[in-house]
Amino acid sequence: MAYLNYTNVGIRGLAAAVPVKVIKNYEYTRYFPAEDVKQVVDKIGIIERRFTDDKTCSSDLCYAAAEKLLSDLSVPRDEIDLLIFVSQTPDYRMPATSILLQERLKLGHQTIAFDINLGCSGFIYGMSVIYAMMERSGLRRALLLDGETRSKVYSPKDRKTAFIFGDAGVAALIERDDSFGQSFFSMNSDGSKENLIKMDAGGYRNMSSLETLKEKVVDEHGNIRSDEHGYMNGGDVFNFVIKEIPSDIKNIMQYAGADNTAIDYFVFHQANDFINTYLAKKLKLDLSKVPSTIAKFGNTSSVSIPLTIVSELQGKLESRKLLLSGFGVGMTWASAVINTGNMFISDLVEI
């Protein structure tokens, strides 16, 4: 039971950037017959996604979001004392991308900067780490940057993953203010399920080689990928979700002393429409309180929660209470109950 609570720290502003290139799923038929594609797309509810070009990284999307946010809020760069970059698609294996972003954003050398390597739960983990550090007296403002280019992770010839993932980056400015009140976090991990979503090679356990880059047929359905593509066992992931997520959400709400009526919006990780419809039904939620960007941005891993807030809740966040819940690769899952104070939302950036 890893529960945490913080007082008077919160997200002052949030911005998101997505690539301009739209992938229309019904027309994504290069490797699969249109009829099969339609069947899959109808079920998962992902109509469009955004893909970067070859040259654009997660950090570029985060940089664009951060520039927009800092300029919208007129934040002096030398007042940012902490920068965390959450991603599993960094620029390099070393150095950490957060350090490169410190320089690109022209932040001072006093800035604490490091990366967090987590998937779909990552934004909530990042918030918690920053809230904990910001509760101390030394730091003025913090930036949480969270970006993913999952389009580069999965094989377009593997139907289990080909239609699901998209790219995006966000920037959150985190400050101390009385209006934020108390926030509550639950964070969890289960490494026994490491094989549910994984990329087998390219790290130091199985280093990159000609062999690991070879595409091959991996199952009886004829799906094709290399050992350096990610894979996902969707059925087992769903089983994991129904076992762990509703109870985690109930527990954090109990810990926060909030019931369904006290929460204004439930922002779930946008895995697919199937999972989120299930969660809403299971938790007996009013669907008007469950914003969704699954249809237009697909699954952007850790970015999906803040991206959904930017895309769907701009102008609706004055003194609101949000429930956030993210779950995925690891497996790892996290939930939070937060107050928005007067959270500012920038217009969505397209690059």
Partner 1 sequence: MNAKFIELFKETLEIEEDIVNTETKFRELEQWDSLAFLSVIAMIDEEYDIVIEGNDFKKLVTVNDLIEEIGKRKA
Half-sphere exposure of 23 (CA within 13 A, CB side): 24
Please, which residues bridge with residue 148 across strands? Answer: 168
Q: Closest separation between CB of residue 273 and partner 1, Å? A: 11
The answer to whether residues 147 and 85 touch, using CB atoms and an 8 Å cutoff, is yes
Q: Is 3 in the site for partner 1 (CB under 8 A)?
A: no
Q: Is 190 in the site for partner 1 (CB under 8 A)?
A: no
Nearer to partner 1, 26 or 92 (CB): 26
Q: Is 282 in the site for partner 1 (CB under 8 A)?
A: yes
Q: Which of 31, 238, 255, 344 binds partner 1 (CB under 8 A)?
A: 238
Taking CB under 8 A as the binding criterion, the range among 22-30, 236-244, 288-296, 298-306 that sits at the site for partner 1 is 236-244
CA distance 55 to 62: 14
Q: Is 243 in the site for partner 1 (CB under 8 A)?
A: yes
Nearest C-alpha neighbor of 105 from the set 138, 147, 75, 150: 75
Q: Is 239 in the site for partner 1 (CB under 8 A)?
A: yes
Cis bond upstream, residue 306 (ω within 30): no
Q: Closest separation between CB of residue 251 and partner 1, Å? A: 17
Quote the tokens at residue 251.
Answer: 């527990």
Q: Is 250 in the site for partner 1 (CB under 8 A)?
A: no
Q: DSSP alpha helices (H): ranges in 178-217?
A: 210-213
How many residues make contact with partner 1 (CB under 8 A)?
Answer: 12
Quote the tokens at residue 52.
Answer: 């970067």
Please, which residues bridge with residue 48 across strands? Answer: 24
Nearer to partner 1, 38 or 140 (CB): 38
Q: What residues line the site for partner 1 (CB under 8 A)?
A: 43, 234-236, 238-239, 242-243, 274, 278, 281-282
